[in-house]
Structure 1
Amino acid sequence: MPDIDLPLFIAPLLAALAFAGAVFAVAYPYFSDDRQKDKRIESISGTRGRKGSVAAEIQSSRKKSVADTLKEIEVREKAKKKITMTLRLLRAGSSLTPRDFYIASALLGVLAASIVVFLLHQSMAAAIVAAFVGGFGLPRWILKKMTTRRQGKFLGQLANAIDVIVRGIKSGLPLNECMQVIARESPEPLGSEFRELVEQQKLGVSLGDGLERMCDRLPLAEVRFLAIVISIQQQAGGNLSEALANLSGVLRERQMLALKVKALSAEAKASAMVLASLPPGVMTMVYLSTPDYIMPLFTTTIGHFMVVGGATWMLMGVLVMRKMINFKF
């Protein structure tokens, strides 16, 4: 029997076994149950993930649909309730008619143009600008300031009026009698608004419609809260005194927050006023002391460009500072 060289025989055998083991190790996962289990787990998790994503998409689409619907309703309401000059004058508490307001605005514009032409000896272009500002901008700015001041006074008295209603209801008085007490004894503008509400009820207007008209005259969130609370109580019932007491507490907390914001922003407002008044103040003092030094700004073309550029930058700075200190809550 011939001799067999064992090393030469074992080496190919080991190589073949190693190759077979490598092939088995690579191919085994594709034929084993673990692979099928992994596939099932992946399919289930993928289905759940798809279901979760589909649910999230459905929820987001519903939210978007609701938001779009609310936006459409708000746009329709704004288009329906056009703010006329009569309503603006009512909001400002003015006794003028729209005709009187337009006549006064025109006279103010003519006066501004006359001052620019005859006293300041400026061109017609400057007179046209002055007439536009005096006849269109200034009266509406004054009207807006009057409206803001009146609304602030109303808000300062509204919580006390609601407390009067709460105490009156707890003592057994009806809601209409409590409103009559407020109309008789409250200062302006709260007394006049509730007096108007009481008079409308005497003429047959429902309380809900009267409060809706009050919301038109006073477009404030607090007045809207009051109208919603009373309307819900009339439709669904419930303890009106408790609901109004909670509303009074909310209004007082809002007033406290407003005063706190006003106190915290007082320093920034003072700084903004000082910074905004420095350039015109310095210009005025230089003009009074040495007018020849500053007159080239008003008599030359490059001076006009410099004045317009400086005024533009000042306006931008004032607007930026106003945005920084104008807190909304």
Structure 2
Amino acid sequence: MNFDFLQLSVAALGGTAVALLIFGVPGRWPAPLLRATERDTALASEAAQVFGRDAVPPYAMIVAYGLSAMAVFIFVSLLFGPILGLIVAVPVAFVLPKSMIQYFLKRRWLQIETQLPYAVDQIVAAVRTGKPLATAVNAVADTGQMPASREFERVAREQKLGISLIDALDRHGRNVPSLHFKMVDAALGLFARQGGDIAEPLTEMSKSFKEIWKLDQKIVTSSSQARMNFRVVNGGAALMVLMIFFGQPELIEKVFSSVIGIAIALAGVVLYAIGFFWMRSMMKVSV
């Protein structure tokens, strides 16, 4: 009981210290830590655009790693002891924040692909009023909807640095993960090189993107029942294991008290993981 009280006290003091640092108590974050997390912080700033934020503080990832390690250590140590808690907390502290960033980056690009047809329509409207293509791209960067406008802003920023529109579009097209955005960059780059009437091809491209999005929404709606069954099956299995662990821990001890029991438990975990990823891959449909 004293050890549990010590753990809770350390967690409370650590959380209070982190909160004070976040909310304005004077302090200097170590420069090596800031440099080491600079790339992850940049990715976190992009992921924050899902919530309408342009950037996150430079120390955000340091705090995220620290809080993740603290939370995992307390949870695991209360169940299995402090040694295992320390062993698990260190790797999970680095994996968990990055996994969350990757999740929100995927959501960001889903938002961008949803907004992309309307950004293309905005470029078409600007070109039809007689504006140059570079000016039309800058207009989307300045007045477009976030986060799609941030991608056009990258192209506009490179133009301000003296890079031509063609080279800026080519570089941007090589770096974005979205196939639709690559197509837009390629089309804009082609007409920037050769000239001609760009309004009609971009209009047709925008219509195609909208039809693809509608088809994708139909697929998501039709597969909602399968995804719900997937969550229920996997969540129910995990909940049952937790109920047995907390309700009848002697059963868990019997399983892990023999080599055969450990082998059966490991085989069950492997089969569960195979089934999980198999069902997950079956539900992924790309349009």
TM-score after normalising by structure 1: 0.63
Where structure 2 has 5 or more consecutive residues not aligned to the other structure, the ranges are: 1-38, 50-54
- CA distance in 1 between counterparts of 2:47 and 2:275 reads 30
Indicate yes or no: 2:146 matched with 1:188. yes
- CA distance in 1 between counterparts of 2:63 and 2:254 reads 35
TM-score after normalising by structure 2: 0.72
- CA distance in 2 between counterparts of 1:314 and 1:242 reads 52
Cα shift readout 1:264-292 (whole Å, capped 9, x = no counterpart):
3222111111111111222334455x435
Distance change in 2, residues 1:276/1:145 (3 Å)? same
Aligned with 1:300 (options 254, 257, 260): 257
- CA distance in 2 between counterparts of 1:86 and 1:109 reads 16
Where structure 1 has 5 or more consecutive residues not aligned to the other structure, the ranges are: 1-83
Superposition RMSD in Å: 3.0
- CA distance in 2 between counterparts of 1:108 and 1:292 reads 29
Aligned with 1:120 (options 71, 74, 79): 79
Indicate yes or no: 2:227 matched with 1:291. no
Deviation at 1:196, TM superposition (A): 3.2
Aligned with 1:276 (options 223, 234, 255): 234
What residue number does 2:225 align with?
Answer: 267
> In structure 1, what residue type is equivalent to 2:81?
Q
Deviation at 1:199, TM superposition (A): 3.1
> In structure 2, what residue type is equivalent to 1:267?
Q
Alignment size in residue pairs: 243
- CA distance in 2 between counterparts of 1:215 and 1:91 reads 17
Q: How does 1:1-329 map to 2 (within 5 A)?
A: 88-89=43-44, 92=47, 95=55, 101=61, 103-104=62-63, 106-108=65-67, 110-112=69-71, 114-115=73-74, 118-122=77-81, 124-125=83-84, 127-135=86-94, 137-215=95-173, 218-287=176-245, 290-291=247-248, 294-296=251-253, 300-301=257-258, 304-329=262-287
Deviation at 1:110, TM superposition (A): 3.6
Give the secondary-structure state (helix, strand or coil) at the position aligned to 2:196: coil
Deviation at 1:260, TM superposition (A): 2.3
Residue identity (%): 24
Q: Is the 8 A contact 2:134 2:165 kept in 1?
A: no
Q: Which has the higher contact order (CA 8 A, sep 6+)?
A: 2
Q: Is the 8 A contact 1:183 1:192 kept in 2?
A: yes
- CA distance in 1 between counterparts of 2:143 and 2:129 reads 18
> In structure 2, what residue type is equivalent to 1:132?
P
Greater Cα radius of gyration, structure 1 or 2: 1
What residue number does 2:24 align with?
Answer: none
Deviation at 1:233, TM superposition (A): 1.1
